[in-house]
């Protein structure tokens, strides 16, 4: 074990049971993680056949892993590669839990990007982190603001009569979390860890740090029992098969699976880190976003003040504004595994429009009426945010982030400093025709 930049370890993993193996594995903790929290990346096999393992040493610029016969070296000061000047187009998405990142198109008429990962573009490799920093050219030089980070998923070279290009396909941190599947069960008993601490553990298994930005009290006080299951089996069930028992099938179906069953149905007993985080965060008001390479949780109270205005000095060339009826105005949360606990939230302004329809949520992890009421209020809050679906196209605002509250002024619609909340961002750049836009999807504040 060593701590050159973060905690790093190697160890020998020997198993002599059915399907035996003996290998060296490595792991590391997310940035700024303390040792006692025990947050570690899922261990990665190391290509070395050795009985004892690797000894670690480091300097300010490199880490060495050694055996009596070998020395491995990894740089800590890997240089960045700035590709800004060669970007012809970019279409980049920032949306909660959306694995899709978008594309970046680079000029390649002289073959400068023919061999990614080698020579002067050695940093441009599959899996590399891409930091997007939108900004402007000013009289004082370029000014930018660091945005979310993405990861290179694929390279695509194209050639045409007049040009050649390299298209870089990128994905978000959510895609990395989606690829991680539990290899064993992870269990937390009620009262053992808060939602925030469990979320930090899940994120760390995929290599990410998770922190809070004005988190809700519930993220730290609510300590539910929680389990992430492994995925060793897949069941495929055909309706014409005489051997299955429908009662057992229903017992295995997750609440978010389709019903009734299609002709060929698959039940996965495992859970990805993405699904684990989504299920866990259903219990608290906080919403996630990606900043640089970290996951941030942020509370979204209706009382939050706006941080920016559009439609005055920052023009809104195009937009559409849509209001929808909330799916439910009466939320009932049934909680308590051994006692009957009911939590409620009622939106009387919408209730008559929905003819009293109620949304029922079952959560046996909650053990007090106060927690059940908080869960009901959280469900109503998120339905309220989603009841608006505005989209505006504006010149790029390099400081704009997900979940910010903003103000919209549009005299033609009678909107004056109307508050909205940013629920999705899309950055679009083109050299020809010149385009540099932010497409903001907005919900209720």
Is the pLDDT score of 275 beyond 90?
Answer: no
Identify whether residues 255 and 362 lie together within a single domain.
no
Is the pLDDT score of 265 beyond 80?
Answer: no
Whole-angstrom distance, CA of residue 377 vs CA of residue 301: 11
> Hey, which residues does 346 pair with through a beta bridge?
330
Q: What mean pLDDT is predicted for residues 58-73?
A: 93
Identify whether residues 194 and 279 lie together within a single domain.
yes
Q: Which of 138, 171, 204 is the last residue of a domain?
A: 171
- Domain membership flag for residue 303: no
Whole-angstrom distance, CA of residue 90 vs CA of residue 158: 16
- Domain membership flag for residue 2: no
More confident residue, 231 or 247: 231
- Domain membership flag for residue 176: no
- Domain membership flag for residue 323: yes
The pLDDT tens digits of the residues spanning 279-300 come to: 889 889 999 999 878 899 999 9
Q: What mean pLDDT is predicted for residues 196-209?
A: 92
- Domain membership flag for residue 333: yes
The pLDDT tens digits of the residues spanning 136-188 come to: 888 988 888 888 899 999 999 999 988 999 999 999 999 999 998 887 778 88
Domain count for the chain = 4
Identify whether residues 317 and 426 lie together within a single domain.
yes
pTM, whole model, 2 decimals? 0.85
Identify whether residues 322 and 428 lie together within a single domain.
yes
Q: Which of 171, 198, 226 is the last residue of a domain?
A: 171
3-class DSSP state of 424 = strand
The pLDDT tens digits of the residues spanning 90-121 come to: 999 999 999 999 999 999 999 999 999 999 99
Give whole-number Cα distances, 366 to 135, 165, 341, 369, in Å.
45, 54, 9, 8
- Domain membership flag for residue 214: yes
**Contact between residue 152 and residue 126 where contact means Cβ atoms under 8 Å apart:** yes
Identify whether residues 44 and 151 lie together within a single domain.
no
Our measurement of the distance from residue 413's CA atom to the centroid of its chain's CA atoms, rounded to an integer in Å, reads 35
Query: Could you tell me the residue range of the domain that residue 235 belongs to?
Result: 181-298
Identify whether residues 438 and 349 lie together within a single domain.
yes
Per-residue model confidence (pLDDT) at position 231? 53
Per-residue model confidence (pLDDT) at position 338? 64
Identify whether residues 328 and 419 lie together within a single domain.
yes
Identify whether residues 206 and 252 lie together within a single domain.
yes
- Give yes or no for a cis peptide into 433 (omega within 30° of 0): yes
Least confident piece of the model among 149-158, 183-192, 236-245, 373-382: 236-245
Give whole-number Cα distances, 14 to 40, 210, 229, 380, in Å.
19, 31, 23, 50
Identify whether residues 260 and 328 lie together within a single domain.
no
Burial readout 124-144 (b: 16 or more C-beta within 10 A, e: otherwise): beeebebebebeeeeeeeeee
**Contact between residue 205 and residue 273 where contact means Cβ atoms under 8 Å apart:** yes
Whole-angstrom distance, CA of residue 444 vs CA of residue 423: 9
Is the pLDDT score of 308 beyond 50?
Answer: yes
Is the pLDDT score of 246 beyond 50?
Answer: no
Whole-angstrom distance, CA of residue 402 vs CA of residue 147: 10
Least confident piece of the model among 18-32, 51-65, 125-139, 226-240: 226-240
């Amino acid at each position: 074990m060593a701590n050159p930049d973060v905690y790093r370890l190697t160890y020998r993993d020997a198993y002599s049971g059915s399907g035996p193996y003996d290998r060296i594995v490595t792991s590391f903790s997310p940035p700024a993680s303390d040792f006692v929290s025990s947050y570690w990346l899922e261990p990665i096999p190391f290509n070395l056949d050795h009985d004892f393992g690797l000894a670690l040493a480091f300097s300010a610029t490199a880490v060495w892993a050694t055996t009596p016969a070998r020395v491995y070296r990894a740089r800590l000061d890997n240089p960045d590669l700035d590709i800004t000047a060669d970007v012809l187009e970019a279409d980049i998405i920032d949306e909660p839990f959306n694995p899709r990142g978008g594309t970046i198109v680079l000029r390649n008429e002289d073959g400068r990007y023919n061999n990614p990962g080698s020579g002067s573009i050695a940093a441009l490799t599959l899996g590399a982190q891409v930091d997007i920093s939108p900004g402007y050219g000013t009289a004082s030089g370029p000014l930018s603001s660091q945005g979310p980070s993405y990861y290179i998923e694929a390279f695509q070279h194209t050639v045409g009569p007049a040009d050649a290009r390299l298209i870089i396909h990128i994905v978000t941190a959510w895609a990395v979390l989606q690829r991680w599947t539990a290899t064993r069960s992870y269990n937390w008993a009620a009262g053992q860890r808060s939602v925030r601490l469990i979320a930090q553990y899940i994120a760390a298994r995929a290599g990410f740090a998770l922190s809070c930005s004005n988190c809700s009290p519930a993220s730290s006080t609510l300590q539910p029992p929680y389990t992430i299951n492994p995925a060793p089996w897949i069941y495929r069930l055909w309706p014409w098969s005489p051997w299955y028992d429908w009662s057992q099938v229903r017992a295995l179906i997750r609440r978010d699976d389709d019903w009734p069953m299609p002709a060929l149905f698959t039940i996965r007993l495992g859970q990805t880190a993405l699904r684990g985080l989504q299920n866990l965060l259903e219990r608290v008001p906080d919403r996630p976003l990606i900043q640089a390479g970290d996951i941030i949780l942020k509370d979204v109270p209706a009382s939050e003040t706006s941080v920016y205005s559009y439609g005055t000095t920052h023009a809104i060339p195009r937009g559409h504004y849509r209001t929808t009826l909330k799916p439910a105005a009466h939320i009932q949360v049934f909680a308590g595994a051994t006692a009957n606990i009911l939590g409620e939230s009622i939106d009387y302004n919408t209730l008559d429009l929905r003819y009293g329809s109620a949304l029922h949520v079952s959560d046996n992890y909650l053990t007090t009426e106060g927690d059940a009421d908080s869960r009901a209020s959280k469900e109503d809050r998120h339905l309220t945010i989603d009841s608006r679906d505005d989209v505006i196209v504006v010149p790029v605002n390099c400081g704009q982030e997900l979940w910010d509250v903003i103000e919209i002024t549009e005299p033609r619609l009678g909107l004056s400093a109307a508050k909205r909340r940013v629920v999705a961002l899309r950055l679009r750049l083109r050299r020809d025709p010149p385009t540099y836009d932010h497409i903001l999807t907005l919900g209720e504040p």
